[in-house]
Amino acid sequence: MPTSTDRMTSAALIAMKQRGERIVCLTCYDAAFCRVLERAGVDVLLVGDSLGMVVQGQATTVPVTLEHMVYHSACVSRARERALLIADLPFLSYASGGRALDAAARLMGEGGAAMVKLEGGAELAGTVRRLTRFGVPVCAHLGLLPQSVHRLGGYRYQGRDAAGAARIRADALALQEAGAALLVLECVPAELAAALAAELAIPVIGIGAGNRCDGQVLVLYDILGLTPGRPPRFSKDFMAGRGNITEAVAAYAAEVRAGVFPGPEHTLA
């Protein structure tokens, strides 16, 4: 685990993967939670467009705008000291290479992000190349793509058959070759995620993808038991039995680093 004085970078994450150290990531949307998460030892802060659902009360992430993302990224950035800050490119903000560059410029320049994340496969390889050519580090996102929920017909596990798994693998290799520095795999079978983590040179961060990825990410509000209704199968309430938020986040970080979380009950085999 890096010391509190080490500034996390994409190169540092690759070094952690090579050493077999699991990467701890959580979503974060404001300065107050940023301080808590860093105090608890979180490596990566993701300003996710999930804020549309957990902060704004939207039904999906689709209504989230670039203005929203810049605002929340800047809030987190002002308090950040060590963790790597990644911000989501919102729905349709990267529909062309030019739009992606403009959006990334705002997220990094105004929002203080050190990396941007986009959802999609090999069809975005050209966009990833263009972003990285101009100095923008990119995190790719495969499997369940929340911005595509209307096309997918709901929040469903992906890659469950041979053809789907092959598509995800091909997409992952194409995005890595295009220059992606990190990959989030959401809601895919554990065996597929483990195989990709072993094959790819870049770190693979799982969410609902088993515990053999290089790291894990969850929505902060889920681990604090704040999600209304039925929580996602792949999540866990770390506030249960603990006295404060810092203890809950530290417990999450410890279980990720020890390979305890996610357990079989959080995983699709």
Give residue 159's region: left, alpha or beta (phi > 0; psi -120 to 50).
Answer: left
How far is CA 108 from each of CA 44, 71, 172, rounded to the nearest angstrom? 16, 11, 24
- Cβ atoms of residues 36 and 246 within 8 Å: yes
d(CA 231, CA 245): 18
CA atoms of 143 and 47, how far apart (whole Å): 19
E-assigned strand segments in the chain:
23-27, 44-47, 84-88, 115-119, 138-143, 182-186, 204-207, 215-218
Active site residue 81: no
Find all residues with CB under 8 Å of 57, minimum gap 6, and list them.
none
Distance, in Å, from the CA atom of 221 to the CA atom of 160, rounded to the nearest integer, reads: 28
Q: Please state, in angstroms and rounded to a whole number, the distance separating the CA atoms of residues 183 and 195.
A: 13
Q: Which residues pair with 24 in a beta bridge?
A: 216
Residue reference for tokens 């992000």:
113
Which helix (H) or strand (E) segment holds residue 113: the answer is none
Helix axes 66-79, 31-39, angle to 10 degrees: 50
DSSP label at residue 98: H
Amino acid at 79: A
One of 186, 199, 247, 265 is an active-site residue; which one? 186
What is the C-alpha separation between 212 and 191, in angstroms, rounded? 8
Catalytic residues: 186
